[in-house]
């Protein structure tokens, strides 16, 4: 069982900011926190700019692996400010390749379940003032991931992220993202995702539409 470490904990309400000379309403510019209170809807005091594509019970918490920052820092020849992805938890030891859809973790007295990768939008490029950022993130599928909250409570940045149940070890977050973003393994990959009861409803619907379109 692999446990993770919180490198940084963040929350913030959406606001209008000028990123790359564009006025954007978002919650990317989050503040570091020592403690946060977590409900089924997410962190109290946190929010999203576009409720159509962000937020909700299936996207209550956003995680991003700390290990990827060295890659992006090298790629752009600068040190990105954390959270460059607007994530709630910057974590170590839980890369997309070794974290699986359905994994259940306890963080403090909060229990969460990983249910989908993240599909970022162009805001990450504007926020970090790197026009190719989104393109490169999507290409690598190093997108981070979301979790639903099974048990509400409080998270402290000193808490360990403890894996308490792994429902399957075939479909990692990275593989799932590859299927969604790049149609990896075609219909075989799509159907593999549909076997996961813990997969977020939005991703299920995306895959179902793809499978149905192939039949038409």
CATH number at residue 71: 2.40.33.20
Give the total number of structural domains in the chain.
1
Three-state secondary-structure class, residue 59: helix
Position 75 scores a pLDDT of 96
Would you say residue 208 lies in a domain? no
Predicted model pTM: 0.95
Domain membership of residue 51 as a residue range: 4-168
Position 184 scores a pLDDT of 96
Would you say residue 206 lies in a domain? no
Would you say residue 177 lies in a domain? no
> Looking at 22-152, which runs of residues are DSSP E strands?
22-26, 31-32, 35-39, 42-43, 61-65, 89-92, 104-107, 110-117, 145-151
Of 141, 135, 125, nearest in space to 181 by CA: 141
Would you say residue 201 lies in a domain? no
Of 136, 149, 129, nearest in space to 78 by CA: 129
Position 54 scores a pLDDT of 67
pLDDT tens over the chain, length 216 residues? 579 999 999 999 988 888 777 888 888 889 999 999 999 999 999 988 766 666 789 999 999 999 999 999 999 999 999 999 999 999 999 999 999 999 999 999 999 999 999 999 889 999 999 999 999 999 999 999 999 999 999 999 999 999 999 999 999 999 999 999 999 999 999 999 999 999 999 999 999 999 999 987
Would you say residue 29 lies in a domain? yes
Which residues make Cβ contacts (< 8 Å) with residue 14, sequence separation at least 6? 25, 26, 27, 47, 48, 49
Of 48, 92, 38, nearest in space to 70 by CA: 92
Would you say residue 102 lies in a domain? yes
Distance from C-alpha of 123 to C-alpha of 25, rounded to nearest angstrom: 9
Would you say residue 158 lies in a domain? yes
Query: Angle formed by the axes of helices 201-215 and 186-194, to 10°?
Result: 140
Of 60, 49, 52, 51, nearest in space to 14 by CA: 49
């Amino acid at each position: 069982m692999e446990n993770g470490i919180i490198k940084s904990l963040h929350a913030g309400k959406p606001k209008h900011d000028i990123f790359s000379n564009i006025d954007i309403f978002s919650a990317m510019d989050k503040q570091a926190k020592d403690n946060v209170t977590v409900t089924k809807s997410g962190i109290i005091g946190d929010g999203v700019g576009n409720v159509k594509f962000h937020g909700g019970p299936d996207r209550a918490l956003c995680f991003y692996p700390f290990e990827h920052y060295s890659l992006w820092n090298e790629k752009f020849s600068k040190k990105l400010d954390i959270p460059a992805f607007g994530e709630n938890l910057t974590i170590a030891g839980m890369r997309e390749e070794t974290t699986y859809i359905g994994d259940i973790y306890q963080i403090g007295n909060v229990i969460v379940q990983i249910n989908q990768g993240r599909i970022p939008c162009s805001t990450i490029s504007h926020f970090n003032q790197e026009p190719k950022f989104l393109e490169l993130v999507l290409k690598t599928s190093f997108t981070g991931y979301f979790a639903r909250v099974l048990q509400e409570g409080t998270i402290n940045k000193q808490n360990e992220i403890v894996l308490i149940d792994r429902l399957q070890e075939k479909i990692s977050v990275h593989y799932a993202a590859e299927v969604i973003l790049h149609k990896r393994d075609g219909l075989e990959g799509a159907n593999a995702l549909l076997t996961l009861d813990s997969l977020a409803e939005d991703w299920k619907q995306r895959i179902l539409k793809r499978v149905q379109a192939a039949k038409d």
